[in-house]
Chains A and B, each alone.
Chain A
């Protein structure tokens, strides 16, 4: 088996700009696999652009190694390297004195593609940008900001580059245009299987687009993970604040697991116990049903006070009146997936069993109430906050 070579790898990379005391990025190591959509996120000045520009040698590497396709970038000719890595610069950077057509096919032209191929490429790309073909002969200033950014994005695809760097390509756009551009780039990425490194300071954007999120702060790597990992296990308060309270509490609710709310001391009785014992236990714990387990704590079923009373003199052991039909949930299951199932049962609780069928706890209706309360209470306090803001 051939080992998979990452598209980009940082090995203990630091960057100190000339005449600067402090490093702009410090000891960064992580990998970007082929086909990844990697978002670099952090507040302004956290080193996102600096880090990204080391990939195509727009910035030199002070310490450590940056590898592209497994080879140190220093071993490439910088001009050639840049022609084979798409780059969407912060603030689009279209050439103002060139038409859209000339702008789009600039890199293929630098690569000396034949003329007829160039014409076709321009038409293909303008379609990709979802703009009319007549725009090819316009100048950048004759396009709106959003249209210019579309061109900026497709321009980076012009020479079939497999690796594309994008530096806040959708900055300063209204949310609707932004979303349509996000969809555009996401479609292109999935359809064409590109590897994308994408700088943003918008966590929503990162969580939506990324397969891998890299959080930077003050030039340091704070966390690398999938959007799910970032959302559910933020490494520290900085990451939490990037995600935002609202998103965080939503995520919390989304990910409450059965084991987080279950009671771990259910009233249970041994399969071999007598009905007298059972009755005593029911009285002691003020319950009308008992879960029945064998001596290995495996759940066998339950008995109810109803059946006990009806069969009392005839039957003597718990196993005689055992009802084996009952639904269970696993401790690792998400509460949201089982919520209605638990609530709709006319029993007041549902037993929780692990993969060995061992009884580990129960979820009562009362514990569900707590969860719902928390969610609604959380919503309410948020609503109050926003209405207060509006009032001001």
Chain B
């Protein structure tokens, strides 16, 4: 096997372990998605809530910022102390990391909605809830999605590292490669799909962001 070129080895690995790679790909993807989803479930309402209160908003963003500055491996280890080895630890870590871009973007998007438009909605007799889903959310949707996109790309990176705490995923393949002698091809076999996934996530969410951008606003720019 060592006679083969790197590229040939790479193909060889895929031919023989194709379904395994696919399985790990799915796993990484799902872990990242779950992490971001939980972060969104927490972060979007928090962002909406703090957008009504400037001081609280700054404080919360400050906390999220602080979490972000902890190196991912350190945070993983800290969470592991609490939750032990396994997939939950990675999902929680991803969630923690995703909070910042999601909260920050929701907060920014919400507070940047034209005050005049909100005032006019209120003046026409919208309830707070109607104001939220008819005016404030649609008008900050693209900024919020940009936050989700950032979160997802970060999440994929963290999930790969997460294999160290036994969560599996594409990171597992990379770790195998590093343990094997002459494992470059195996490392590549794990790293390439990881990179591809991050790029795809970015492209797909960019597209989504464009679709969900309210029509009336596109022409304005």
Q: What's the nearest-Cβ distance from chain B to residue A171, in Å? A: 13
Quick check: which of A93-101, A327-335, A370-378 contacts chain B, the rest being far away?
A: A93-101
Given contacts A58-B122, A83-B124, A87-B123, contact A97 B215 (CB under 8 A): yes
Decide if A82 touches B125 in the complex (CB within 8 Å). Answer: yes
Across the interface, which residues of A come within 8 angstroms of B135, CB to CB? 95
A-chain residues with CB within 8 Å of residue B183 when the two chains form the complex: none
Binds A, one of B64-72, B83-91, B112-120: B112-120
> When chains A and B are docked, how far (Å) is the Cα of A62 from the Cα of B193?
64
Number of A-B contacts (CB under 8 A): 69
Tell me whether A97 and B214 are in contact (CB under 8 A): yes
List residues of B (90-124) whose CB comes within 8 Å of A's CBs: 114, 116-117, 119-124
* Contact digits for B203-216, partner A, Cβ 8 Å, 1 yes 0 no: 00000000000111
Task: Check B127–A95 contact: CB distance below 8 A.
Answer: no
Contact B124 A96 (CB under 8 A): no
Q: How far is the CB of A167 from chain B (nearest CB, A)?
A: 9
Residue of B nearest to A80 (CB): B125
Contact with B along A82-126 (1 / 0, CB 8 A): 111001011111111111000000110010000000000000000
Cβ–Cβ < 8 Å partners of A79 in chain B: 125-127
Cβ contacts under 8 Å, B114 to chain A: 96
* Cα of A95 to Cα of B117 in the assembled complex, Å: 6
109-148 of chain A: CB within 8 A of chain B: 110, 139-142
What residues of chain A lie closer than 8 Å to B121, measured between beta carbons? 95
Closest to A97 in B: B214
A304 to B82, CA, bound (A): 123
List residues of chain A with CB within 8 A of the CB of B127.
79
Most buried by A among B117, B123, B130, B215: B123
| Binary CB contact string for chain A from 289 to 322 against chain B (1 if under 8 A, 0 otherwise) | 0000000000000000000000000000000000
With both beta carbons as reference points, the residue of chain B lying nearest to A167 in the complex is identified as B123
State in angstroms the CA–CA spacing of A92 and B219 once bound together: 19
| Contact between chains at A97 and B116 (CB < 8 Å) | no
**Interchain nearest-CB distance for B85 vs A (Å):** 47
The interface on chain A, measured as residues whose beta carbon lies within 8 A of the other chain's beta carbons, has a size of 27
Is A149 on the interface with B (CB-CB < 8 A)? no
Q: Which of A90, A98, A142 has the most CB of B within 10 A?
A: A98
Interface string of A40-62 (1 = CB under 8 A from B): 00000000000000001010000
Contact B119–A141 (Cβ < 8 Å): no
Does more than half of chain A's interface fall in helix, strand or loop, or is it mixed? loop
CB pair A107–B119 under 8 Å, yes or no, is no
Whether B122 contacts A141 by the Cβ 8 Å rule is no
- Tell me which residues across on chain A come within 8 A of B126, comparing CB atoms: 79, 110
Task: Establish whether residues A96 and B139, one from each chain, have CB atoms under 8 Å apart when the complex forms.
Answer: yes
Q: Are A58 and B123 in contact (CB under 8 A)?
A: yes
Q: Within the complex, what minimum Cβ distance (angstroms) separates A39 from chain B?
A: 19
Check: B177 CB closer than 8 A to any chain A CB. no
Chain B residue with Cβ nearest A110: B125
A374-392 interface bits toward B, Cβ cutoff 8 Å, 1 = contact, 0 = none: 0000000000000000000
Residues of A contacting B138 in the complex (Cβ-Cβ under 8 angstroms): 97
> Are B120 and A95 neighbours in the complex by a CB distance under 8 Å?
yes
Contact of A87 among B117, B124, B217 (CB under 8 A): B124
25 contacts between A and B (CB under 8 A): A58-B119, A79-B127, A80-B125, A82-B123, A82-B124, A87-B120, A87-B123, A87-B124, A89-B119, A90-B116, A91-B116, A92-B120, A93-B119, A93-B120, A94-B120, A95-B120, A95-B135, A95-B216, A96-B216, A97-B214, A99-B216, A106-B124, A107-B124, A140-B216, A141-B220
Which 7 residue pairs across A and B have the least CB separation, nearest first? A93-B120, A97-B214, A83-B125, A139-B216, A82-B125, A87-B123, A89-B120
